[in-house]
Amino acid sequence: MTRATRIREKLRWSNLYTFSCIRPSVLELEGGAHSLEGPGFSRIVYCNQPRVHRKKPLKYPSNYISTTKYNIFTFLPKAIFEQFRRVANLYFLLAAILSLTPVAPFSAVSMIAPLAFVVGLSMAKEALEDWRRFIQDMKVNSRKVCIHKGEGKFGYKQWQKIRVGDVVKVEKDQFFPADLLLLSSSYEDGICYVETMNLDGETNLKIKRSLEVTLPLGDDEDFKNFAGIIKCEDPNPNLYTFVGNFESDRQIFALDPSQILLRDSKLRNTTYVYGVVIFTGHDSKVMQNSTKSPSKRSRIEKKMDYIIYILFTLLVLISLISSIGFAVKTKFLMPDWWYLQPHNTTSLYDPTKPGLSGIFHLVTALILYGYLIPISLYVSIEVVKVLQAMFINQDIQMYDEETGNPAQARTSNLNEELGQVDTILSDKTGTLTCNQMDFLKCSIAGVSYGVVSSEVEMAAAKLMAGDLNEQNPENSNVSAQNRGTHDFWGKSGNDVAVSEIELENVITHKIGKPRKHPIKGFSFEDDRLMDGSWLNEPNAEVILLFFRILALCHTAIPESNEETGGFNYEAESPDEGAFLVAAREFGCEFCKRTQSSVFIRERYNMSGHPIEREFKILNLLEFSSKRKRMSVIVRDEDGQILLLCKGADSIIFDRLAKNGRVYEEDTSRQLNEYGEAGLRTLVLAYRKLEEPEYSAWNNEFLKAKTTIGPEREALLERVADMMEKDLILIGATAVEDKLQKGVPQCIDKLAQAGLKIWVLTGDKMETAINIGFACSLLRQGMKQIFISTMNAEALSQDPEKAVKENILMQITNASQMIKLEKDPHAAFALIIDGKTLSHALEDDMKLQFLSLAVDCASVICCRVSPRQKALVTRLVKEGTGKTTLAIGDGANDVGMIQEADIGVGISGVEGMQAVMASDFSIAQFRFLERLLVVHGHWCYKRIAQMVCYFFYKNIAFGLTLFYFEAYTGFSGQSVYDDWYMLLFNVILTSLPVISLGVFEQDVSSDVCLQFPALYQQGPRNVFFDWYRIIGWMANGLYASLIIFFLNINIFYDQAFRAGGQTADMAAVGTTMFTCIIWAVNCQIALTMSHFTWIQHLFVWGSIFTWYLFLVLYGMSSPIFSGNAFRILVEALAPAPIYWSITLVITAACNLPYLTHIAFQRSFNPMDHHVIQEIKYYKKDVKDQHMWTRERSKARQETKIGLTVRVEARIRQFKGKLAKKCSALTVQTGS
């Protein structure tokens, strides 16, 4: 960048800004350098000497960042630990070790191989998912930035190679690669604009300023001999504080946050800046706010551990019974069994040492009955979850065509958690909104202009129209086009009676013609103001002044657009940009700014020719969250001094003169209408000043501006207040903070599904409240509870204690108010800022705060830091004990995404930090509806049914081993061939259960969305509560008893073959195993609600595979097949009893479940049973009235969302109508 470029950008903003850009003198800095003694202030940075910081004693970390769970050294130990946190794996590890001893009933390979396969597969999946995180990290680490290489030469380097002390040059619209000290910028006075949306969610640009001493460093060559020392605080997570000193030429200059550029914020409206690196990598403030990637486990998986404990207890119990029985038989009966040669045996079967023999047999029994604990359960779940994740990734309904981003399950461990979410904690900027402001409506001189409806109005109207059409089908022929262009809430006084009678008919005539070429930031339509038509309005002079305020009251810079011939505006906030675009479209174009003047080109005036006017900028009192207003004092071409002001209505209305309230009543009513439509509003006012009055005030203002000391800001505020009074109201603006597509409808559906939604944002309170209205988290009539911090410094000797007591009192009073509320339709919203939240999250108050928040319909936390987001998430997660989901798109959301049970990242425009830390990523917030209500519901039910079925079949199979061993004198003999047992879980019953976990659907995706209340089956844990688990276990116990005792009793005393031979153990064992295969596969077929050819293939194919195996196994050599040689072909198949036993036992095993499900569907059906029956009999097509009635009932009771908003509106209209009818009745009677 040459010096010439810098000269062109010679606006000295520090001369204009009142509060943000004051640079104290060097003398003050020398005397006021920060004291940096004590712990926490050991950081020393040698500027332009990066090599110094690579060696001890400094040795600061590199700029490399990692969000992975593992690295090359920690993968094996950590991944193995993760696998053996699972109780079943721990048991099978012990069993595998014991299988190496002589007491094992099976070979060591048959125990070790399945364990190695299961653990290895799970570790491979973990490695693959972490590798994807590593690739995302490398994309960030490989970004390039211009860095000083020495001798005044700059070149590009990867972010990961940046070191503390490096001088970097960041260009417009680039992210800062590390935490930097601003040295200079393309503006002469070292000002730059920074967008921190990625850190705190704020869309307004922040102004940063360099020290006076570093201003001369304007070009690359100037850094050839640059040197300096920075002494500052150690790395910490505080985004809004910084304490340090800069030493240069034996002078010390104090540093504060206004000179610090934080990693992941973006340079805006500034061509370039130079900065020196202070904190790198994980020392940077944004990374200090993040936490290590946590290891998350679903609630079902945690509960599975308890079931494993129960089964393990059962295993130990029956093993003890078996070993005691064996010891008793060894001592008392074995001496009489001469054929076993009891006097010539080992210690395993020694009648003289029955206790020792019993202990050895205990080990044998623990291994033998190990089939009670299903080792293949975990690997089957892993396979199912990976396939479920593939379906999520490939869901075309969650693919965003604009960005090309599909949904992505970044970890498949938590699929079923998606179906159990109770509370969603959402970021605002970039998650709910797309950070685009559209000028939509305005009120000028008490008249409302603008006929285009906001997204909220259109969504609510569509909903209401749908309700009316369902009640009155004849109205359904109204065109969709008209529906989209009505003005829903904005009715004139003359129309009120009609609209009340018609319940505010949703179709109204659209004024004006549709615009063919939409303009970004300007969606306003009204022929009364467009194309100079405002000149014919009765208040044309007021309208012109309104346009001039839009064009003059700002801090933007115009940039000529060569393509269009017009101007683009570099504004501090999207609101300002929208106002300037609106002014331009209305014919009042801001075209030029100098150090002292603003030029606007007025296209429409009485002369009929465009006129360029110059307005001298005398003072600028900029906007801040505390002031909630902005003013500019200008002198027009006639010498008239004007104060032009815009701000929040609550602030401006208090400052109006008596003669300035002419339009107050009308404007207030219209502001309420705009607010109900979810629009952001600002009020515009002005004041004429006389020269003497202005001169006197300006002298006071200059004194306050040059004051040195802590009272300076208070003085400036007081002087500004003196001027910003006696205002004359002009009108108001209504800007739509564009929500992401489908956000209101998504929130409405999630609320109907019974989910609670909290908004956690770093943005200011007013903006958050506006978005709350736009999303229908807030609505008119909802009682808002504000918890705020009072200023107790002057009121108490212990301000901290007084503040906490005051906050606690506010929380207590609010909780009491909610309890005493008797109106069933009353709804409460809790709104709290970050400063207050820091106290509310302390241990002695957080439970009371949580109790209040849970009682409220919606919760909005404003001005919260990333760490506070994580702390709130932790409080909700641990305090309620329910599943939480956090969703965000920026680096400031990483903490809460990692802290929540489920983290969802928005793969939007701004960075990938949230996505890299997330468990699932989606391109738009609206896809969360399908992710939870459809995939979450399916995955939860599939996994729950799959796990219950797994325990059922293993209990049914494993207990038959125990019964047979007891039947044979606790001999340790297995009734089944070793190959049968090996194939039971691996092949013969694995594929049907996997098909259940992957393809099962109780209802279709469309029905899930039409009946959102079905989702509550997950949070209520309907399919995996202890009642259902114990029921399935009892079913397995019953099946095992039927299979064993029916087989034994039938075969016991009758001939098996035609020749009169009885059945041997091989025949009995094979028949029992056949019954098990048929029983468990028919059971899973009865469990399934949704069949595809894949399920049929797997279920019936598994039974066919068993017979095929018997044939092939029987055909093998007797050395290999043993007693199973030709067992099916020669022994079992010719015997009718074999087939009849199979049929009888299969029917007997499944009869209780069939009876239960028939009774339940007939007398106590669940929600999905009713829907399945309606769909089966096609009642949704044949009986629309019933279908509509059932849909209306399939909503959880909620106080938020579009539907509730419309219902509240209808109740309001009905109430007014009832009053009017009663009044008419009284008049008629009288």
* Element (DSSP H or E) covering residue 806: helix 799-820
Please name which of 370, 429, 434, 425 lies closest in space to residue 400, comparing C-alpha atoms: 434
Mention every residue, 6+ apart, whose C-beta is less than 8 A from residue 925.
426, 431, 432, 740, 742, 743, 746, 887, 906
Q: How many helices (H) and strands (E) does the chain have?
A: 41, 33
- Compute CA distances 511 → 486, 732, 1145, 1162, whole Å: 9, 20, 76, 57
Task: Rounding to the nearest 10 degrees, give the CA dihedral for residues 139, 142, 147, 149.
Answer: 180
Query: Which DSSP string corresponds to 310-356?
Result: HHHHHHHHHHHHHHHHHHHHHHHTGGG-GGG-TTS--GGG-TT-HHH
User: Do residues 586 and 552 make contact, with C-beta atoms less than 8 angstroms apart?
Assistant: no
Identity of the amino acid at 1008 = C
994-1022: buried (b, 16+ CB within 10 Å) or exposed (e) per residue?
A: bbbbbbbbbbebebbbbbbbbbbbbbebb
- Tell me which residue has tokens 């503006």: 187
What CA–CA distance (Å, rounded) separates 272 from 842? 42
Query: Which DSSP string corresponds to 1140-1171?
Result: HHHHHHHHHHHHHHHHHHHHHHHHS--HHHHH
Strands ordered across the beta sheet of 883-888 = 408-409, 920-922, 902-906, 883-888, 421-426, 756-760, 858-862, 828-833, 783-787
For 539, which DSSP code?
T
Look at the chain and count its residues.
1230
Task: Rounding to the nearest 10 degrees, give the CA dihedral for residues 1095, 1098, 1099, 1104.
Answer: 150
Q: Give me 1217's structure tokens.
A: 């109508």
* Element (DSSP H or E) covering residue 434: strand 433-444
Mention every residue, 6+ apart, whose C-beta is less than 8 A from residue 281.
61, 62, 63, 64, 65, 178, 287
Catalytic pick among 130, 427, 748, 1002: 427
What CA–CA distance (Å, rounded) separates 656 from 724? 9
Q: Give me 692's structure tokens.
A: 């003497």
HEC-encoded secondary structure of 293-316? CCCCCCHHHHHHHHHHHHHHHHHH
Catalytic site residue 427?
Answer: yes
User: Do residues 326 and 349 make contact, with C-beta atoms less than 8 angstroms apart?
Assistant: no
User: Do residues 729 and 652 make contact, with C-beta atoms less than 8 angstroms apart?
Assistant: yes
What CA–CA distance (Å, rounded) separates 409 from 921? 7
Mapped onto helix, strand or coil, the DSSP state of residue 509 is: coil
What CA–CA distance (Å, rounded) separates 259 from 183? 8
Q: Tell how far CA 642 is from the center of its chain.
A: 47
Judged by phi (left if over 0) then psi (alpha if -120 to 50, else beta), residue 802 lies in alpha
Mention every residue, 6+ apart, whose C-beta is less than 8 A from residue 988.
1077, 1102, 1105, 1106, 1109
What CA–CA distance (Å, rounded) separates 857 from 247? 54
What CA–CA distance (Å, rounded) separates 1072 from 1078? 10
Beta strands in 671-820 (DSSP E): 680-689, 728-739, 756-760, 783-787
User: Do residues 620 and 637 make contact, with C-beta atoms less than 8 angstroms apart?
Assistant: no
User: Do residues 948 and 1032 make contact, with C-beta atoms less than 8 angstroms apart?
Assistant: yes
Strands ordered across the beta sheet of 447-449 = 447-449, 433-444, 728-739, 680-689, 641-647, 629-635, 611-621, 597-602, 588-593
Q: Enumerate the active-site residues.
A: 427
